[in-house]
Amino acid sequence: MKHFLIIILLLLFQLAYCPESQPDRRWADYYQHKINESRQIRLHRLFWAFVQVESSGYFLAFNEKENAGGLLQIRPVMIKEVNNIQDSLKFEISDRWRMERARKIFEIVMLSKNPELDIIKACRIWNGLKTTEKYMNKIKCAYESFGCL
């Protein structure tokens, strides 16, 4: 009788907690979570790759010729673009100096214009017509190095 109760309890446990018992919902949730997690990791690595190439991590970096500043060398045109993309949160030119705001700007632009987070497309979006093979290779190299940290 004791063994019978243990077997029943194990079966109930399997039905309640094992993804195999409800393959439609639990595995779908599990894989969607993994996809979202993987996307966030790629976005995070992409952000830091651009930070490394654009400013070497110096948040007060400023390029007077292009009026680009901050970690990501954000130009005024990028602020206008991100404000056009979404309505809920408005950005100002001074936000390029704040890391969290700069990161949010980067995420909004990348997720709306490059949802697959392709590195080459990201380079073209972020750097525009000035994107060169050398620039793309720097971003790729920085992206790959952040995966190893």
pTM of this prediction?
0.75
Q: What is the pLDDT along the chain (149 residues), one digit of tens a residue?
A: 777 777 777 766 666 655 554 555 666 676 666 667 788 899 999 999 999 999 999 989 999 999 999 999 999 999 999 999 987 889 999 999 999 999 999 999 999 999 999 999 999 999 987 789 999 999 999 999 875 44
CA distance 94 to 106: 15
Q: Give CA separation, 109 vs 11, 61, 141, 145, in Å.
A: 48, 21, 22, 23
| 63 phi and psi angles, rounded to 5 deg | -110, 100
Rounded to 5 degrees, what angle do the CA atoms 24, 29, 34 make?
Answer: 130
Classify 62 as helix, strand or coil: strand
Q: Give CA separation, 145 vs 52, 126, 142, in Å.
A: 11, 20, 5
Please name the residue that has the structure tokens 């620039």: 135
